[in-house]
Amino acid sequence: MSDFIPPAKPLIGDEERAAVDRVLRSGMIAQGPEVKAFEQEFSEHFKLGRACVAVNSGTSGLHLGLLSAGVKAGDEVIVPSFTFAATANAVALTGATPVFADISADDFCLDPTAAEAAITDKTVGIMPVHLYGHPAKMEQLMQIGRDRGLHVFEDAAQAHGAALNGTPVGAFGTFAMFSLYPTKNMTSGEGGMVSVADAEMERNVRLYRNQGMEQQYHNEVVGLNNRMTDINAAIGRVQLTKVDAWTKQRQDNAAFLTANLDGVTPPPVADGAVHVYHQYTIRVHDDRDGLAKALKEEYNIGSGMFYPVPNHRLKPFQADVDLPATELAARECLSLPVHPSVTQADLERIVSAVNTLAKAGA
Ligand SMILES: *Cc1c(COP(=O)(O)O)cnc(C)c1O
């Protein structure tokens, strides 16, 4: 059988290894100059026009961003249910309640109309997810935020470099979080980057990241240790020099798949949106699970289901809400390999396999 085509593949090169070695040899490996440089370079690279604060994971970034905005027990934050559980977990960890709203069928992201309908007198914020690397409908969501006096927070875990009508994701909300987990579009090993709208948010995230201290041993709030190490930052700085080429490769791979797949629905791209294809997610209308199984067993092609169980049905949340677009997407979504290591021959194998299976009714 042909070689396995994995659904994701982190890319770590000699430059990353040399950068780690440089930090290890320096003897100073905890948060230090590498982290500071990475924060500045990340903000500049993605033209965010705002400060960034590095933390030890994307989930920590969401948690600290929410704490920094004052989200607390008794509050509600509106989130999509069709996302990784970290989105809702971060809200719940502040003591607030994640309130699940439906997605739009045309971009897999939070539906502004559904989000607005979920607002109560306890709502303090709305946190869309730029799912799969496609920007959420930020203009409408920001307008709702302004009209109703609510924060908008961005879960940009999957969307490094995505943009909407010329504005990069991460430059809209009170804060935004980019994940740097190994399978994301760029990595620092583990890590997260928080972009912040103003100096007060920046100060708060820095405080919560480090036990509530700006000045050592003069703790101002109850904080955590969610610092990034210089080892991780050194990896991230190298990845920043490569991520644009990887994104271009993802987009080229996606364009080929969209032009050639037949019998399944390719991922939509909104007008004015730059999609960075963290995932290339098709809809399989008949038997998604059967198609995924056959891809693996008959063609040695990996795929992913993001996400088969919507958050509102997960054990910790169990919300009694009716989210038809979410339920349908959870049944139909299938992510095909699109990462930069996928070759032209791989793409041709994927197209041929999916088209054959789709024609046969999976
Ligand atoms: C990966 C991811 C997170 C969490 O990021 P970690 O770095 O793994 O903690 C949060 N939200 C979404 C949508 C993600 O894909």
- List the pLDDT tens digit at each of the 362 positions of the chain: 789 999 999 999 999 999 999 999 999 999 999 999 999 999 999 999 999 999 999 999 999 999 999 999 999 999 999 999 999 999 999 999 999 999 999 999 999 999 999 999 999 999 999 999 999 999 999 999 999 999 999 999 999 999 999 999 999 999 999 999 999 999 999 999 999 999 999 999 999 999 999 999 999 999 999 999 999 999 999 999 999 999 999 999 999 999 999 999 999 999 999 999 999 999 999 999 999 999 999 999 999 999 999 999 999 999 999 999 999 999 999 999 999 999 999 999 999 999 999 998 75
**Residues 100, 79: contact at Cβ < 8 Å?**
yes
* CATH 3.40.640.10 domain span(s) along the chain: 14-240
Q: How far apart are the first and last CA of the chain?
A: 20
Q: CB under 6 Å to ligand 1: residues?
A: 57-59, 83-84, 86-87, 129, 155, 157-158, 179, 181, 192
Q: What is the DSSP string of 285-354?
A: SS-HHHHHHHHHHHH-B--B-S-SS-GGGSTTT------HHHHHHHHHEEEEP-STT--HHHHHHHHHHH
Q: Kindly give the residue spans of alpha helices, DSSP state H, lying in 27-152.
A: 33-45, 58-68, 86-93, 112-117, 138-148
For residue 362, the model assigns a pLDDT of 52
Q: Can you tell me which residue has the tokens 């940009």? A: 156
Query: CB neighbours of 290 closer than 8 A, spacing ≥ 6?
Result: 362
Helix (H, G, I), strand (E, B) or coil at 360: coil
* CATH class of the region 243-360: alpha beta
* Pocket residue to mutate for ligand 1, from 57, 59, 228, most atoms within 8 A of Cβ: 59
**Residues 213, 31: contact at Cβ < 8 Å?**
no
The atom number, within ligand 1, closest to the CA of 83 reads 13
CA of 133 to the centre of ligand 1 (A): 12
Question: Residues with catalytic annotation?
Answer: 184
Q: Can you tell me which residue has the tokens 């700006």? A: 214
For residue 1, the model assigns a pLDDT of 77
- Indicate which residue's Cα is closest to atom 10 of ligand 1: 86
* CATH 3.90.1150.10 domain span(s) along the chain: 243-360
Identify the CA nearest to 279 among candidates 320, 339, 221, 225. Answer: 339
Range 14-240 has CATH code 3.40.640.10? yes
CA of 129 to the centre of ligand 1 (A): 10
CA of 184 to the centre of ligand 1 (A): 9
Helix then strand then coil, in percent of the chain rounded to 5, is: 40, 15, 45
For residue 361, the model assigns a pLDDT of 76
For residue 291, the model assigns a pLDDT of 97
- Torsion over CA of 216, 174, 79 and 228, rounded to 10 degrees? -30
Q: What is the pTM of this model?
A: 0.98
